[in-house]
Amino acid sequence: GAVVSQHPSWVICKSGTSVKIECRSLDFQATTMFWYRQFPKQSLMLMATSNEGSKATYEQGVEKDKFLINHASLTLSTLTVTSAHPEDSSFYICRANNEQFFGPGTRLTVL
Amino acid sequence: ELKVEQNPLFLSMQEGKNYTIYCNYSTTSDRLYWYRQDPGKSLESLFVLLSNGAVKQEGRLMASLDTKARLSTLHITAAVHDLSATYFCAVDRGGNKLVFGAGTILRVKS
């Protein structure tokens, strides 16, 4: 079956640094990827929608300059958290345009 | 704005018992999903419900959808410990963008 992978699965970084998270569709083409954030013991919140070859669309309240999304190919979307701060610590999950396929998630901890 | 409410938020069950999780949503939608999440893991798809009156069953779990009432239920039959997890419903607000409920933490006690 179709699989979505994410890398890294977890990352710890210092405050002020940038972190890139990759989301790949392994055996199908994903024209659209959705990026979600989940704080501990909370639900998933949609951050942005990335479309291959065009600019991402961001949800209200999500800073596009802080969360940079690139969807340069049909199998890869990246989320870069720029100048990360402790409040950005969260579980980031991508989902391909097929609703059943979520990535395994990336746990980001900012010290 | 679409709002999705789940209840209860926490459910402690005895093994062998039955219970139902409810998911209400505020505006019309074409699709409703149920997911399971184990601690530290991503989401596993359980059911996709696409039409009024849809009922799907997998093992001890059965999901139904009433689009007129904007209500979906996830019924657990004869709970077993392995069902302990967090269950989310999610509703498509359009463009395949999902709005999630708060989640129901299910603990099955032996």
Give yes or no for residue B78 having a pLDDT over 80.
yes
Tell me what the pLDDT averaged over chain A comes to: 93
Residue A18: closest CA among A67, A64, A57:
A67
Give yes or no for residue A2 having a pLDDT over 90.
no
Nearest-by-Cβ selection for B88 from A43, A99, A100: A43
User: Which chain B residues are closer than 8 Å to A42 by Cβ?
Assistant: 102-103
Please spell the DSSP secondary structure of A32-79, one letter per residue: EEEEEEE-TTS-EEEEEEEETTS--EE-TT--TTTEEEEEEETTEEEE
Give the model's confidence band at B110: pLDDT under 50 very low, under 70 low, under 90 confident, else very high.
confident
**Residues A41-90: pLDDT tens digits?**
899 999 999 998 889 999 999 999 999 999 988 899 999 999 999 999 99
Which residues between 5 and 24 in chain A have a beta carbon less than 8 angstroms from any beta carbon of chain B?
A: none
Model pLDDT, residue B34: 97
Give yes or no for residue B72 having a pLDDT over 70.
yes
Tell me what the pLDDT averaged over chain B comes to: 95
Give the model's confidence band at B42: pLDDT under 50 very low, under 70 low, under 90 confident, else very high.
very high
Nearest-by-Cβ selection for A49 from B31, B40, B97: B97
User: Which chain A residues are closer than 8 Å to B102 by Cβ?
Assistant: 42-43
Q: In angstroms, how far apart are the furthest CA atoms of chain B?
A: 42
Instruction: Name all contacts of A40-49 with Cβ < 8 Å and 24+ positions apart.
Output: A40/A91, A42/B102, A42/B103, A43/B88, A43/B100, A43/B101, A43/B102, A43/B103, A44/A93, A44/B43, A44/B88, A44/B90, A44/B98, A44/B100, A45/B100, A46/B97, A46/B98, A46/B99, A47/A79, A48/A79, A49/B95, A49/B97
Contact B86, B37 (CB under 8 A): yes
Determine contact: A105 vs chain B, CB below 8 A.
yes
Determine contact: A51 vs chain B, CB below 8 A.
no
Give yes or no for residue A1 having a pLDDT over 70.
no
Model pLDDT, residue A53: 85
Model pLDDT, residue B30: 79
Determine contact: B89 vs chain A, CB below 8 A.
no
> How do A106-110 and A90-96 pair as beta strands?
antiparallel
Neighbours of B43 (CB within 10 A): 25
- Residue B35 contacts by C-beta under 8 Å, 6 or more apart in sequence? B43, B44, B45, B46, B87, B88, B89, B90
Query: How many interchain CB pairs under 8 A, A with B?
Result: 44
Distance, in angstroms, between B103 CA and closest chain A CA? 6
